[in-house]
Every structure is written in structure tokens, then in C-alpha cells.
Structure 1
């Protein structure tokens, strides 16, 4: 079976694991558009599921289990030890080797560049774990990923590449639907687009940077999410951080979930609006806060707020939890505030049609004032969008800095957005629905069979099966996991910072290398360090089986199984009952 390579020949990477060639060859009746290492071959239609919340059933709050006390105590002691040792090394180092600490010691009347706790934490704690972070990769971040092997001769101060490559199972990328590919209809559309548009618009949207692809993409996005109009930007972080200041200002109030993303926090801070936070996904706390701020008004003067904007995320990527959207919408109707939903991680990954949390819960998207999302996850592209009523979007085109000053999104990226989103919607055969002229990208999408939406639906159902199988399987093994079982991000708790490094390294050195992402403070609370498994439609059941076996083996070694479950299952029993685990609504 001849297979293309992105950078080097696949024979350079050890095989025999099923990462290159499927362990179970696909049937001859199937036609595949990608190599197995990018998008796994799976012709078993039983390994599919539909992501949907039952209508009329309240969303239960996910229980966050606590580990035994000895785990918490040893975790705190580890941080105390690291902090004390770090301060001792700084104290002695500034006196015995001052040239190495010149950036921390004020001189010639200048303040030190970095002397706060963030600097200390980075140098003395994070540096010990740097082998886990920023690993260089090459090739496609699909079902598998290729790491460039590196070593550090000076305790993680510097790293040097060895020249070796490691192909591993990729559970670390946001490629939820597997559209980040070098083959297939989307890739062909992008290739065609380069010949017509080049690589850049070479200007801002309000100057000469708006192409017909921008107009087409915005029409497609608004149709996809179910709103009147939309505006797109070239950076996801900037979509939040530049739009929020254009919506609110002095005299306005922003109510924010305590776990909202840094881009939201930054945008609120820049806006000058007052901000109040409520407990994560706690509707009782939110309603109590609403009553307080509406009745009391602005500080000191007690005048009514000019406007109140509630900002929540559809899917919280560090927790894996879903916003209780039906309850939030009910509060909106009762208290009359504006609602802003960030769907960076949920758009494309949730719902029977992949249209985010509104689709998942069966909520009318027009009941939400502002829908924000990004193209960097499910669509395999870059940038973000804001969707809402036409008058609001028209004002944002002028008021938001991302629209006025930022470089227009690249035509190549726009084509990837149009192709991937169009393949989910199944509207590529009817460009007239988009109310824009036909383009090279549209004709290429038609030529590659993405017009009926079958490929998009297949990817959605594969993703839904994979995430439920892994989430429930980890719980049955005895691990503590956070989040909703339909979330493509599955956090598994490690607690002790030393176990982060060991878990990441042991997964990479397992008989089939597995590439994972570990997360610690300040991205998470101090004692809840975790690994985040990001699954994709490109994975197959054997990949999840492999991941469960690795977690079972390493979890026993590192003492990670502290979850409360009625009956723990062996990993073999979980694998044998995968269909029941993933599909049975009452399974627990």
C-alpha cells in the first residue's frame, strides 16, 4: 500500500502499530480520500453516534470528584517544596552568580524586567516540566502526528533536535472533525484557490482586502449558525478581545463565567465596562447576581446600567463542560439582558448537524444576541466570526478593531472554511443559497462530492462515538474526569505536578507512542493539574482502545485511579462492550 508523506518517507518511522496501515483493512467497496495516518479508515457503521441532548430534559451539573486526602496533601507539599527550593536557589544564585540573574536585579536606575511571581513560577516550576510543552512537530496534525525528537543537556534550559522522528497517536490537537488533511475535497479546493487568489489579500477589510470569498464565507457562516449576518476575522483570540470593547463600555456591565477564556477577560478589561463573575455554570448563583446588579444599578450613583451583557462559552475547553444554554436563555427572557456565547470549541463539534450548542440543545439561535466562534478547531482553518442581527454586524464592521485594522483573512484559509463548512451543510451544490457569485472553491467542492453533506454527517457521528466511548471508559477504569460525556475535550486529573511530566513521557514511550497535552497552573487551579485528551473524527475505535490500555497501565503505575464508581471494569471488558458504553443512554 503506497502512501504519500508530507516531509519524509513513512518508512523512516517505525510501523507495525496500525498507525500507518489499518489493522483491519477497509472493504473494497469503500473509496477513501485520505491516507490512514491522517484520517483513519472505519467502515463499521455501528461505531457511530449522534450528539444531541434530549429535549425537555434539564442538563445535570457534572460532578467534580475529589481525590483522597493523601493525594491533595502530597500535591500541596510538592508545591511547597518546589517554591522553597526555588527561593533558596534564587537567594544563593544572586550572590554567587549574579550575571545569570542580571535580568532580575535592578541596575542603573532601571526596574527589573521580570521579578514577580510569574517569573519565579516559570523559572523554578514550569522549567522542570518543559519537556512536556512546545514539542516541535511536522506534517499533518491528523489521526497521527510526527514529533521531532529532542534532548536537553542543561536541565531543560535549552533543547537540541536529534534528527529522529516519532510518529504517535495524536490526542493533542483541536482537529475535531479531521478536516486538517492534505488530501480530500477540502485540500483540493484550497489548491485550486491558490491558483486564482494567491496567498494573501494584502490589505484590511475596509481597504482593498475584501474579496468575493470573504462575502461568500460570511454568508455561509450566518446560514450555518442560523443568524442574519456575520463578520469574520483573521484571529480567534482577537475576535473576542476586539469585539467586546465594541459592544460595551463605561456604564455597562459584563457578567462573566469564572472560567471564561483569557480572550474574553482581556476584551472586558479593555472595554472599560464593569465586570461581575458568577460560579462556573451555576444558574442559581447567576440568577442571584442578576437580581443584585439590576436592583442596585451602577456603583455609587445606583443609576441603571446602560446595558448588561452576559458572556459564556458553549464548551469550556479546560473543564470539558457545556453551558446550560436552556437555563441561560430562560434567564435572558426573564431579566432582559444581552447574551454573548463563545462557541470556539463547540461549533462544528456538537449537535446532530454540527452547529454548536444551540443545535445540541435544540435552542433557536435567534434567541442569542451574539454568537462567536472560531475556525481553528472543527474546520481545520484559522480565524473567527461574530454572528448576529444585521444592524449589529453592520455596526461591528466599523467599530471592531479586528475589522478596521487587522489584515484580511487569507483566501487560502477562507477556502478551507467554505469547503469544510459547506461539506457539513451540504449546500455546496446550490451557491445561489449563499447569495454570492460562484467561485473556484465552490466548483471544486462540487467536483469532490462534498455537496450532499454526507461526509460532514459521517464525521460528526464518528466524533460523537469516540468521545462518549473514551469519557465513559475512563470513568469505568476508575479515573477522575471532568466535563460532559459529549465533549470532544476530556480532562483527566493528575493532581501532582510531578505526575504531569511522568504521564506525558510514559505515554510517549509506550509501545505505541501517544502524544498528549498536560495542563497545570495558572491555566487550572493549583491542585488540579490534568491531561486533556482531544479526540477527533479521524480516530477509529482501535485508537481509543489503545488509549484506554495505555491509561490503564500508566494509571496503575502512577496511582491515578481515585474516581468514585459503582463498579470498576477491566480494560478488556470495556473494549468488549464499547458499543454499549457509547450508545446506552442509561449507562453509568
Structure 2
């Protein structure tokens, strides 16, 4: 991600300083007015929340909370019903019975399976009637269903690995698998912008953790070389194991991993490679098989492949794929497999059906058409945003495209103005991102029509004018680029 200009950084810092000072001033006034919150604490008990976190929630988060956690009253399809809320005491938002029909630009519904589907939905209903809605047990008790075994076989075939295992939760897939792979005496080298689930898993592992610059193979090589030369802290013994962890598409940046170069580095230094394909599986590549297919990387060069079913396949849960020996070992030690409730049968059936459509095993070409649609929709939308002057992050073909907001006051302003015009977007600020880099994250789906995208672009352009978010001059295309766009439109 490129750094922001000095001018924007200064305005952003000023914005946060003003909010901070206003919050501290209000706390001071409240203290002299016999602070009821402090007085109500039980004598001798420490506060449950830490002071800085408590201050952030009370004086910063609550000021813009109306643009977060918006409940919906329908399936997260192309259009969805957003429940309107009212504030009762500046701290609590109460849902009303009113809904607003909005164009959905926030859900990870990349292939459009989140709503009713002609192939998937009847299969899911049938699975409910046959297996119920839950196994009511972990996988090692009575929670392994024939659908789990079928899904594990199918996802292993799809990603090109000998074996796979599935979890009921995507976050737990990372946070419980990484500690099973590396422990004390091992080294984890993680991308600076890796997802929170990876960070939690790395911290829980007990291994030494080093971070390399985001998507930088050269810095990764420097970190690996230095770590191998120095060895373990204090003893300087060789590392028992080195695991490099990267993502296929970085969810807050929309950038695609430079996997080919990273593979070359890990092979040179004999390090294992763990690839998180939560946002890339199903969404990129000619047949939706992710970043390895997109960049022509041999799947055998990636030792552990992780992904989720929450995004492209309209379900929930996650998977780990690798060698048969690896999967057998993880099943014997991962707490999320041993103790957590297994994936509900209807959830597993949804993934199986969506995978079959994607792979063409339903007897149609809908899968390929969906993969093509999400790629073309994403590239069209990103190009139009840049042409209107928005500062947009992300690579070509990525369905994730952040629009940079920077200044804290614009986080809620952009989200609320879009909602008033019946477009639902996700605004993101600190601590989910660096406090200088607030953004609105747009997610594109294969289910979006060109009319939907054009309507969204018109609204975003209008809102960006109101909020003064067109930080870049309108993009002027060369004659060659115009000819390429004309050819693309002709083919469509």
C-alpha cells in the first residue's frame, strides 16, 4: 500500500487529536460532576475494561457506531434489507421495525451463493430433513457426518492437495491450526498485514514470531537469512522449524500475494509455506482455484493451504489442506477439531453444492460464468472508481477494493450518506486498520449486474463529492487503454 501524502496525514492526525482532546475534556467535566460510572464500581474491584480501551469505546467508537454492526433482515444478496436503528442514550442503538432496501457492497458474497440458489438451496433443505440442523457433538465424538467426509474429499480435489479437514469456524481454522504446526523452538515469519486469526494463532503457538514488510519477498529473504544466521535467542541453536505465513488476497488492502516470488524464497531457505486463501479461493484464477492458479504456482510448493467457506461459497467454516500425514496429525492435536462442535450438516451441504457448481459437476457452466462475472465486475468497478478520482487500493482481478477515507470524521459521513441513497457499504477505521488509513471496503459479487454497478458508482461519486474524497485527479486514459476498454466492452 502506498503511503499517504503529508497533507492528508496531517489532517488525519489533527482529526484524531481533536477527538481525543474533546473526549478527555468531557471525562474531566464528568469527574467533577461526581462520575456515576466510577462511583458505581464495586469497592475493591478493578475495572473489567482497560483504561485506554474504555476511553476509546466511550469517546471515539460511540461517536461513529451507527455505521458499524448494521443488522439486516434478509439474505445478503445483491440487494438486502438493512434494519434502521435509533439512538436512545448515545451509547445504545435500538433496532426499529423499519428496513431500507439497499444495494449490497459489503458482503463477501463473491460468487453469489449467499441467497437462494436453484441448485444449492434444494440440497440444503433436503439435508436438514435428513440430518437435522446440528450434530450436537465434536468431530471425535458423534459429530462426524458423511457430509463432512464428502466435503473434505471434494475440497482436497478442488485445491489440488491429497487430503483436507474442515472446521466449523474460519477464525478457528487459523488460530487453532498454527499452534499445532509450530511450537517452542520454532520460528513463524508472518506478513505485516496478516489477518487477526493468524496473529492470534502465532501468539498462541509459543514459537518466536518475526514480521516482514507487507508483500515484500526481498524483505522476507532478509528476515529469513538473518534469523537462520543468528538461530534461536540465547542458545543460538538452529530453529526446529520455520513457517512462513501469507494470504492470497489481503482483505483490508485488496492486494494479491506475490506468491511466485515468495515460494522461490521459501524454497531457497528450506522454510515451510502456509497460504491463507480465505478471500482468494473461488474468487480468482481461471477456474476459481485461487492465487496458485492465477500465478501459475505449483500447489506442491505450498505446504499448508487454508481457506474459508464464508466468502465465495455462501456458507461458514474453513479448511486445511495438505499431505495425508499432515492432516492426520492436525486432526489428532487441533483443539477446534477435538473439542468444538462440528460443522452443521446443512452448512456442509451448502459448501458441497456450491463447490460442485463451481467445478461444473452440476452439469452446467454456471460456475465458470460466475467466476468470469466476479472478475469482470471487479475490474470494471475498480477502473471506474479510479477514473472518477477516488484513491482505490487493490490489484486487478481482486473483488476487494478499499476506497481511502483517511480523516476520521469521514468514516461515518461516507457510510451514512451512502445508506441514505440505498447503498450499503462497510467503513473501516482504527483499530482494524492503521489510524492514518481509514477506508471504505467495497466487495464485488458475481451476482451484481452492470446496472447495479453503475447505480453504485453514481451514488459513490455523489457521496465522494459531498465528503471531498476524490483525492486524485480524474484518470485520463491513453488511446491504447481506451482501445483496450472498447475491445473488452465489445467482447462483453
What is the TM-score normalised by the length of structure 1? 0.80
Among 558, 561, 565, which residue is 2:467 paired with?
A: 558
Question: Equivalents in 2 of 1:492, 1:553: separation in Å?
Answer: 14
Structure 2 partner of 1:85: 22
Residue 356 of structure 1 corresponds to: 290
Structure 1 residue matching 2:158: 3-state secondary structure: helix
Kept after mapping to 1: 8 A contact 2:84/2:98: yes
Q: Which SS does the other structure have where 2:185 is aligned? A: coil
Q: Is the 8 A contact 1:256 1:276 kept in 2?
A: yes
Partner secondary structure for residue 249 of structure 1: coil
Q: Give the equivalent residue in structure 1 for 2:71.
A: 136
- Is residue 460 from structure 1 mapped to residue 381 from structure 2 by the alignment? no
1:43-192 aligned within 5 A: 64=2, 66-67=4-5, 69-102=6-39, 108-155=43-90, 157-192=91-126
Matches within 5 A, 1:255-270: 255-270=189-204
The equivalences for 1:545-584 within 5 A come to 545-563=454-472, 567=476, 580=485, 583=488
The answer on 1:193 being equivalent to 2:193 is no
Q: What is the total number of aligned residue pairs between the two structures?
A: 486
Greater Cα offset, 215-224 or 194-203: 194-203
Q: Structure 1 residues 117 and 582 mapped into 2: Cα distance closer, same or farther (>3 Å)?
A: farther
Q: Distance between the aligned counterparts of 1:305 and 1:543, measured in 2?
A: 53
Give the secondary-structure state (helix, strand or coil) at the position aligned to 1:125.
Answer: helix
Which whole-Å deviations, capped at 9, do the CAs of 1:294-344 have from their partners, x for residues lacking one? 111101111000000001111100011111000011112211100000111
Q: Structure 1 residue 508: deviation in Å?
A: 1.1
Alignment of 1:465-544 (within 5 A): 465-510=376-421, 513-544=422-453
Change (3 A) 1:488 1:578: farther
- In structure 2, relative to structure 1, the CA distance for the partners of 1:491 and 1:181 (3 Å cut) is same
Asked whether the equivalents of residues 65 and 480 of structure 1 are also in contact (C-alpha less than 8 Å), the reply is no
Cα separation, 2, equivalents of 1:227 and 1:360:
17
Deviation at 1:423, TM superposition (A): 0.9
In structure 2, distance between residues paired with 1:162 and 1:568: 47
Query: Residues 242-269 of structure 1, C-alpha deviation per residue, up to 9 Å, x if partnerless?
Result: 0001000000000000101111111111
Question: TM-score when scaled to structure 2?
Answer: 0.95
Which is helix-richer, 1 or 2?
2
The 3 A distance-change label for structure 1 pair 368 and 88 is same
The whole-number CA distance in structure 2 between the counterparts of 1:249 and 1:365 is: 25
Q: Could you tell me which runs of 5 or more consecutive residues in structure 1 were left unpaired when the two chains were aligned.
A: 1-62, 428-449, 570-576
Deviation per residue, 1:49-69 (Å, 9 max, x gap):
xxxxxxxxxxxxxx62634x4
| Aligned 8 A contact 1:469 1:582 in 2 | no
For each residue in 1:489-512, what CA deviation from the matched residue of structure 2 results, as whole angstroms up to 9, or x when unmatched?
1000011111111111111112xx
| 1:216-252 C-alpha deviation (Å, 9 max, x unpaired) | 0000010000000001000000000000010000000
| 1:322-381 deviations in Å (ceiling 9; x for gaps) | 110000111122111000001111111110111111111111111110000000010000
Deviation at 1:152, TM superposition (A): 1.3
Q: Secondary structure at the match of 2:405?
A: strand
Give the aligned partner of residue 386 of structure 1.
Answer: 320
Residue aligning to 1:433: none
1:332 partnered with 2:241:
no
Instruction: Name the Cα RMSD after superposition.
Output: 1.8
Secondary structure in structure 1 of the residue aligned to 2:297: coil
Secondary structure at the counterpart of residue 315 of structure 2: coil
Q: SS of 2:402's equivalent? A: strand
Q: CA contact under 8 A between 2:388 and 2:475: conserved in structure 1?
A: no
Regions of 4+ moved over 6 Å: none
Give the corresponding residue for 1:219: 153
* CA deviation string 1:459-492 (max 9, x = no partner): 1111001100111111111111111121111000
Aligned to 1:408: 342
CA deviations on 1:56-97 (whole Å, 9 max, x unpaired) are: xxxxxxx62634x43322221111011111112112213314
Q: CA deviation at 1:567?
A: 2.2
Q: 1:287 to 1:410 in 2, by over 3 A?
A: same
What is the alpha-carbon distance in structure 1 between the residues aligned to residue 463 and residue 110 of structure 2? 25
1:451 pairs with 2:363: yes
Cα distance, 1:399 vs. partner? 0.8
| CA separation of 1:289 and 1:556: change in aligned 2, threshold 3 A | same
Distance in 1, matches of 2:426 and 2:486, equals 25
Asked if the contact 1:225/1:355 (under 8 Å) is kept, the reply is yes
Contact 1:469-1:578 within 8 A present in 2 as well? no
Q: Cα–Cα, structure 1 residues 102 and 242, in superposed 2: closer, same or farther, change >3 Å?
A: farther
Between the aligned partners of 1:583 and 1:197, the Cα distance in structure 2 is 47
Query: Cα distance, 1:418 vs. partner?
Result: 0.3
